Amino acid sequence: MSDITIYHNPRCSSSRNTLGLIRNSGAEPVIVEYLKTPLTAAELQALLQRMGSHVRDILREKESVYQELDLGNAKWSDADLLGFVEQHPILMNRPIVATPKGVRLCRPCEQVLEILPQAQQGPFTKENGEVVQP
């Protein structure tokens, strides 16, 4: 079992690039496609605690459901927002990666390098052609 977990959306280039960087370190992570297997509010809260973040830090404000539910409104408590993310997992920004060294929202994808247990095995070329040097 891997000690690295990525909460992944395969349709997202940032998520795919982050997964590539993890694999470029020689690791094969546990991949949780959170749109198919949504996290519970309790699981989200545990991730946020490990990140040292608040639920608003991981909300995707560009999603239409964010606007429809008026989630920018200060009236919503953290518990309310966690419930909305549980019901509408598309609201969760991605990818989030958990390793023994910490948990990060990996936007940009290079953020994952700070928490990987092993160094990159060589240069990695992102989908846009940019090269990430070890």
Residues that are catalytic: 12
Beta carbons within 10 angstroms of residue 108's beta carbon: 12
- SS3 track for 59-121: ECCCCHHHHHCCCCCCCCCHHHHHHHHHHCHHHECCCEEEECCEEEECCCHHHHHHCCCCCCC
